[in-house]
Amino acid sequence: MSLRTPASLPPAYLAVGGVALLALCLFVKYRASRQHLRHPPGPRPLPLIGNILDLPKSQFALTWTKFGEQYGPLTWLTIPGRNFLVINSFEAAKEILEKRGSNYINRPRFVMMGELVGFQELTPLNQYDALWRTQRTLLKHALSAEVIEKDYAAILENSAQRYVERLLEQPENFAANLKRSLQENVIDLTYGKREDTKGRDYVQLNGKVMDIGNETMQGYLVDLLPALLYLPSWLPGMNFKKKAARWRDEIDNVRRTTFESSKESVLSGDPNLKSSYVVNCLQALYRKHDSIRTHQVEEQERAICHSGFSFFMAGTDTTQMTTRAFLLAMLLHPSIQEKVHAEMDKVVGSGRPPTLGDLKDMPYLNAVVLETLRWNPVAADGVPHAPLKDDVYNGYFIPKDTTVVVNSWGISRNPRHYSNPSNFDPERYLKPVPELDPREFTFGLGRRACPGVELGYRIVWMMAATVLWAFQLKREDGDNTPLNTDSERFHIWMLW
């Protein structure tokens, strides 16, 4: 047996070996260069627990804003097994999430809300995969301005008029009735009916699902320490597992009930079918395929089911909270309300309620709605993104899977973008050089930005226009209840 020396190896082996060696050297050099890069600045982490003590318990965006003042556009936080990047500047958010959008297209792990409770296929939480891409394609088409104006204008107008009737009947229940009217609105848009064949009320189902969503969205300890998943349920503090299992069944039931009922109606040719997201998507799908029992059709149905469920969930509280902020702004600023009334008298008059077609002729009301979106950004922390691979930004190392949060609240209060940012001032968008359009960040940025921006804007606009067409809003004489201060008012969402 003879030992083969390099000289005796065939040239092809040498070439392959050479390439492998070169690749190994490049990889080692790459890892070494990354390890020498710093993370962005941030509070000093403690041994073992990292920055756990620096994380706020509520009103996250206020803490992020303080970090922004101290550390600049980017703040780095770390806890065992998880890295966080908080972006406090609009420019950095655009550079990172938009210009590098194909990398920051993923979502981090949502342990409680996603994996345990079963929301992980909801479009906003879905990891970057084929199901998410199909959901986005379906939503993109259905939520364009043209489709909304063609297919959904009447739903938006009716729901706003119904709210006005309820306000007239029970002004004291203005908040509960707003919630109900917007739930009905989103249910009509999603499924085209309010109950299934067994009489199950979709408004009630929506309320239940939203309550579970809101409860789990605040973040659980297991989101920060996923290792807790492997501890037995009987240990103290593990009650979250039982809760999650119960919620999972309820969610699954609502998702299946609503989807299967629409599918049955489409397949049976129900004469009462109304134009709506799930119905229109299913009709288009079945028109294209002779058989509905193929893998391809089933995959599409799955995407319609989950994106419909997302529509149902993502469109309710966002529009409700923004409309509530609008009502509050009008109570606080009678002179702004007066200007809307003057515009309304000129464009609409008293003979008919406003329609979506009036939107383009009412620049002042548009500015008021924009200012509402900025004044009370309902997703103050957005929904976190996560990079698919390691990145370097301005010399800082951002590893794959970092939880990346944009502080929309901080951007909305940044005097570089807004003069007197705590003031409610629609005129800022009507100047020769308007201030930053809040839709650029309040609906998120990059490839995961909200596909419902056109619809969400129109729902709020329609509510605002119809309420001010019908009423003059003012506080009751003698009511001196203090109204919330600027930072107490905004509603916080937090998702890890």
- Is 281 labelled as part of a ligand binding site? no
- The residue behind tokens 């203005």 is 174
CB of 359 to ligand HEM, least distance (A): 15
CB of 456 to ligand HEM, least distance (A): 3
Phi, psi of 451 (to 5 degrees): -75, -10
CB of 295 to ligand HEM, least distance (A): 24
Site for ligand HEM, rule CB under 6 A: 123-124, 136, 139, 143, 310-311, 314-315, 318-319, 322, 378-379, 382-383, 385, 442-446, 448-452, 455-456, 460
Query: Is the CB of 421 or the CB of 444 nearer to ligand HEM?
Result: 444
CB of 425 to ligand HEM, least distance (A): 20
Q: Cα–Cα distance between 131 and 3 in angstroms, integer?
A: 54
CB of 135 to ligand HEM, least distance (A): 7
Task: Compute CA distances 218 → 52, 56, 113, 491, whole Å.
Answer: 16, 12, 9, 12
Contact of 218 with 60, CB cutoff 8 Å: no
CB of 139 to ligand HEM, least distance (A): 6
CB of 320 to ligand HEM, least distance (A): 9
141: amino acid identity, one letter? H
Contact of 451 with 135, CB cutoff 8 Å: no
Closest alpha carbon to 343 in 304, 369, 321: 369
Provide the sign of the torsion angle of the four alpha carbons 278, 282, 283, 284, taken in this order: positive
Query: Is the CB of 124 or the CB of 387 nearer to ligand HEM?
Result: 124
- Written as one string, the DSSP assignment of 151-167 is IIHHHHHHHHHHHHHHH
Containing 396, the helix (H) or strand (E) segment is strand 396-398
Tokens coding 41 = 């600045």
Q: DSSP 3-state assignment of 444?
A: coil
CA 169 to chain centre: 33
Rounded to the nearest 10 degrees, the angle between the axes of helix 202-217 and helix 295-314 is 80
Q: Cα–Cα distance between 157 and 356 in angstroms, integer?
A: 7
Q: Cα–Cα distance between 399 and 387 in angstroms, integer?
A: 8
Strands (E), 108-222: none
Contact of 68 with 88, CB cutoff 8 Å: yes
Rounded to the nearest 10 degrees, the angle between the axes of helix 453-470 and helix 174-191 is 140
CB of 494 to ligand HEM, least distance (A): 12
Strands (E), 399-451: 403-406
Q: DSSP 3-state assignment of 50?
A: strand
- The annotation places the binding site at 450
- The annotation places the binding site for heme at 450
